[in-house]
Amino acid sequence: MINSTVVLSDNAILLDLTHYRHNLIEGSMDPSKTRISSNNILYVGGYNSNNYSTIQKAIKDAQKGDTIFVYEYSSPYNENIVIDKSVVLIGENTETTIIDGQYQSSTVIVSADNITIKNFTIQNSAHNQNDAGLIINSDGNLVQNVILINNEHGVRFEYSRNSIFLENKIENNNQNSIFISESSNLYIYENTIKNSNTGIDINKGATYNEIYANSIQNMEKGIFLFSSSHNSIYWNIISNSVYAIYLDEANENEIYNENVISDNMNGIFLVNSFSNKIYDENLIKDNEFGVIIESSFNNDVNENIIRNNDYGVLLNKSFQNDIYWNQITENHKGIYIQYSYQNEIYLNNIINNYQTGLFIELSTFTKIFYNNFIENYISASFIIDFLSFNMWKKNYWDDWSGNGVYRIPGNIIDFDTDVWYNYDFKPKDSLYDL
């Protein structure tokens, strides 16, 4: 968070940037070093008749490094702005210093590098497919304390690098609150995002972006990654959405470090994706589906708290995924695996799930090792078509008699028997410390 104080006189502006959390690339991204203009200050609006009447006229006359201060008195500024110089653009008050695009085109377009925009409401872009309240096609920019409302997209980053977008409110936009394409090393954090189709859309060619400490709610998709890789998602709170986090053809991304994903239809959904990691105490609770992995492979789900969902973890048509070191508790179905193969389930606490701790349907070569099964209505069960080659080894079962093997009851399709069994031949006689 950056705490800013603005002190104005006829020829001076002081920005006291007292606290900056992120040490960004090469030092040039530190607003305390690069965002404060010691050059000219141009004033827009207000009571002085010598001030500019429009923001665009001030930009036209500005030189690189100048500051443009916009008064709230003459708001709204009904104009569509192109910022093609490295300037600092600051509004007097976020809620009352308004740039209104009047549905004509995108409201603000940033085409030069190293631009700062602070303390504005940006609204009413046109509603064509690619219009937005704010479009950023350049590098090294800072956008802070801005409201983006009633636009087609809130903000679009395209071919942009090394920019910061923080402490903004993005609400009631038609498509995406934040759209990122062919961009890298963006830092999107501490934003409040509500009531759009998609909260943050990380699209084709978007790599090495950090999305953290955002509050996202009331979306079709909270965070959507499509054909993008090496992005980091952490410390976010996502609720009341159809999909909290949705990955499609997205690879080698990380979802970690205490994301809170609650009260959604689907928590984290992966489809056609590989080598992603979901780990480090994400809290995934009170969703219909906690984690869904579909037609995907080589993903890791570990050290998460997955609680009170209809399905804790669901694997469908997926292979070579690892589910380990999780707390899977109080779901209707803890882990459900169907039409999948060569997945590994190990070192999980599978506790107090209301229907079954683990269910395997028509899946083969599953390894279930070293888990604690405690106080589930049914510890584990399966349906197979004939030979499953699933392996159960050294799990702790709270309902094991203590003698011999542990039998896992199930069924074989079209086989003339009521119950078939898999076996854990070496059940653990005491709890694992997980």
Average pLDDT over residues 386-406: 92
Quick check: is 333 in a domain?
A: yes
Residue type, 240: N
Q: Are 428 and 396 in contact (CB under 8 A)?
A: yes
Give the alpha-carbon dihedral of 326, 358, 432, 346, to 10 degrees. Answer: -60
Residues 6+ apart with CB under 8 A from 101: 79, 80, 107, 108, 122, 123, 124, 125, 126, 133, 151
The Cα 166–Cα 231 span in angstroms is 17
Question: Is 113 domain-assigned?
Answer: no
Based on the number of CB atoms within 10 Å of its own CB, is 338 exposed (0-12), middle (13-18) or buried (19 or more)?
A: middle
pLDDT in tens, 347-385: 999 999 999 999 999 999 999 999 999 999 999 999 988
Report whether 339 contacts 361 (CB < 8 A).
yes
Q: What would the pLDDT profile of 58-106 be if each residue is shown by its tens digit? A: 999 999 999 999 999 999 999 999 999 999 999 999 999 999 999 999 9
Helix (H) or strand (E) holding 153: strand 153-158
Task: Classify residue 37: in a domain, yes or no.
Answer: no
Q: How many CA atoms lie within 13 A of 168 on its CB side?
A: 28
Strands 6-8 and 13-15: antiparallel
The identity of residue 301, as a single letter, is V
Give the number of domains in the chain: 1
The string of DSSP codes covering 345-386 is EES-EEE--SSEEEEEES-BS-EEES-EEES-SSSEEEEESS
pLDDT digits (tens, 9 = 90+) for 9-60: 333 333 333 233 333 433 344 443 434 445 799 999 999 999 999 999 999 9
Q: Are strands 406-412 and 380-384 parallel, antiparallel or unpaired?
A: parallel
Overall pTM surpassing 0.85 (yes/no): yes
Give the structural domain span for 336: 292-434
Instruction: Look at residue 306 and tell me if it is in a domain.
Output: yes
Among candidate residues 154, 101, 153, the one with its CA nearest the CA of residue 128:
153
